[in-house]
Copies of this chain bind each other. A is one copy, B any other.
Amino acid sequence: MKNLSLKNYIIKKNYKKIFTPSPSFPIENLLGLSSNFSRGDEDFKKQFNSVVKRLKKISGQNKIVSIQGPGSLAIEIGLLNFLKGKILLINTGYYSQRIKKILLDAKKNYKFLTKIDTINYQNVKNIKKKYDWICACYTETSIGFKIDIQELSKIAKKKQSRLFIDATASIGIEKYHNLADVVTFSSCKSLFGFTGACFVGYKKDPQNKINSFMLDINNHINKKMTGPNTTIQSLDFVLKNYSKFKKKVIMNKKNFMKKFSKFLIYPNKNQPNICTYINKKVRAGKNLIFYKPRVQNRGSIIFHLGSGHLNKNINKINNCIHTR
């Protein structure tokens, strides 16, 4: 394999067609890699600053902290370090329930959380009480559902609540993340990076005191441990060309929606770009990787990140999907 060109290596390494929340493997992941070190390596420092600058723009936040870890770690660090008082969770399914679990666990260890209520997304217009924070998943992948974040933001503003958004499945490819006061996401889904990094974006500095080396956001702000260096490098050239990647996802989504229009479950306004939930099971096949959801459902959830490495025929990827 040593004598293979990068271009042919990437073709070889994308032999599987992928319809999962993890993206395909574009050549851009490789272009920024090199040996590196966190302190005193000026080349890496430049890359790091460039990636963080682009993530600030994408997330619409003034400050971004990068951490080695999965999206759920960013959620936990975000919730623990920023939230206080009365909290309302918008229930959309499995991943919103994860936020609730993290909050309930946190309430056992810390006094700054005084109340945690839940409301189903359908009833969001009927919020009566006043809350300090409202928490929601922008795209709930367990049911392939996108909330109306503009509407939620209006409600939050009216109630003088701040907004915490889990953007694990929406970052980059959906609009209006700037409406969140705190937003969390990871490297390895719609940002097309390697696994290994998660991010907390925010506007006002955190204030809670956290009794944990890993969960205290200040230890990450102050770079007290090794950061997600390789993953930052894998994002460097992807983010420099991010509009191209976003366009591919949206084309792929549109093509899929057209092809499977009779099996769609939600109206357009609740259709996320990352995936589509259809009321039919799909047929497995050789070198096809479909999403295995963490919870049972009555159909299939197909993700649209599998064309990131392609430069033409992006829509052809959907030709190999057949319903049972």
Using a CB–CB distance below 8 Å, which chain A residues touch chain B? Answer: 1-7, 9, 13-16, 18, 20-25, 27, 30-31, 33-41, 43, 68-73, 76, 98, 101-102, 105-106, 108-109, 186, 188, 194-198, 211-215, 224-231, 234, 289-292, 294, 306, 309
Contacts and interface: CB of A to CB of B under 8 A. Distances in A.
Interface centre among A71, A289, A291, by most chain B C-beta atoms within 10 angstroms, is A289
B3 A5 contact: yes
A1 B69 CA distance: 30
B41 A13 contact: no
Contact of A37 (B20, B72, B73, B224): B20
Given A40-B289, A71-B225, A196-B228, 16 more contacts: A1-B6, A5-B6, A6-B6, A6-B9, A13-B34, A16-B41, A20-B41, A25-B33, A70-B226, A73-B214, A105-B211, A105-B213, A109-B109, A195-B227, A196-B197, A230-B234
Nearest to A232: B195
A195 B229 contact: yes
23 contacts: A2-B6, A3-B5, A6-B6, A18-B35, A20-B41, A22-B37, A23-B35, A68-B70, A68-B73, A68-B196, A70-B226, A71-B226, A76-B212, A101-B213, A102-B212, A102-B213, A105-B212, A105-B213, A195-B226, A195-B231, A196-B197, A224-B294, A230-B231
